[in-house]
Structure 1
Amino acid sequence: MSKTGKYVAGANALLGAWLVVSVLVAFETEPAHFWNDVLVGGAVIVLATYNFAASGEYASVSVVASFVTALVGAWQVVAAVNFASLGATADLLFWSDAITGGLVLVLGAYNVYQGRFVSLDEEAEEAEETG
């Protein structure tokens, strides 16, 4: 099995950490935006770390955890646009949130795609062994 899914999950965990750190250290923002970034970043860290730890030489990434990660990334993009339209964020924070959310979405979707096919390959191997 390819280790690409594991590395993609690790990259997503780092992006989640960036969401938390960027809003804590680098920028000033409204409380709703602050908590959105902290909660979304925390969710991405937890889901991606689970995928990173659970995948390995003999196991693929979790399709469900990857799908939820992609959904959280999509939410982050929508939230960034929403906060920007309300004037509750600085331009730099908007772009940071939007790009990070987009990357989380794409990387999560890639792991869904990869995990789905690895699962199908494993089912085919089991069918060959039993049949």
Structure 2
Amino acid sequence: MYATTKLTAGGSGILGCWLIAAPFVFGAPPVSRWNDVIVGTLVLLAVGYTHLGTDDRRPPSATGATVVALLGLWLLLAPFALGLEGLPLWNDVVTGTVVTSFGGYDAYVSAAERERSVRATAE
């Protein structure tokens, strides 16, 4: 039932791993390196929390998915706030856009499913 949210969460998890490795691949400056490693680790933790105990009857956590979306938004804006340029800038912008999209989708699906289950129990 939640195959798409599991797929997007898996994608976010892979991108979190990429964020941890990317600054070393690109030779990013220290501020970018620390930012990417911290955000990548937090994305992995939030994705894990989002889908902890999820099965066909229980939707993923809307809170965890929202945290993933907000981390992606920070990643999208951070290169400009930190004054990055070149490959580290574009890596963060592209990765941040995708992580924000995946997290936003998961948060939407989770919130909609919880609302639907609340309505069903109220009726």
Q: Same fold (TM over 0.5)?
A: yes
Which of 99, 105, 109 aligns to 2:104? It is 109
Q: Percent identity of the aligned residues?
A: 30
- Trace 1:27-106 onto structure 2 (pairs within 5 A): 27-83=26-82, 86=83, 88-89=84-85, 91-106=86-101
Amino acid paired to 1:92 = L
Name the residue aligned to 1:18: 18
Within 2, Cα distance between the matches of 1:55 and 1:97? 29
Name the residue aligned to 1:120: 115
Within 2, Cα distance between the matches of 1:80 and 1:49? 26
Within 2, Cα distance between the matches of 1:79 and 1:52? 26
Within 2, Cα distance between the matches of 1:103 and 1:6? 15
Q: CA deviation at 1:53?
A: 3.5
Kindly name which structure, 1 or 2, has the bigger radius of gyration based on alpha carbons. Answer: 1
Amino acid paired to 2:13 = A
State the TM-score, normalizing by the size of structure 2. Answer: 0.91
Question: Which digits, 9 at most, give the CA deviation of each residue in 1:32-69, with x for residues without a partner?
Answer: 11110000000001111222333221111111111111
Runs of 4+ in 1 over 6 A off after TM superposition: none
Instruction: Say what the alpha-carbon RMSD is for the aligned residues.
Output: 1.4
Amino acid paired to 1:19 = L
Gaps of 5+ in 1: none
Within 2, Cα distance between the matches of 1:21 and 1:56? 31
Say whether the 8 Å CA contact 1:6–1:51 is kept in structure 2.
Answer: no
Within 1, Cα distance between the matches of 2:41 and 2:56? 27
Larger displacement relative to structure 2 (74-83 or 32-41): 74-83
Q: CA deviation at 1:114?
A: 0.5
Within 2, Cα distance between the matches of 1:27 and 1:100? 14
Q: Classify 1:63/1:119 alpha carbon distance in 2 versus 1 (closer, same or farther; 3 Å).
A: same
SS at match of 2:28: coil
Gaps of 5+ in 2: none
Question: Which digits, 9 at most, give the CA deviation of each residue in 1:81-128, with x for residues without a partner?
Answer: 233xx3x44x12211111001111111111111111100111122113
Amino acid paired to 1:104 = V
State the TM-score, normalizing by the size of structure 1. Answer: 0.86
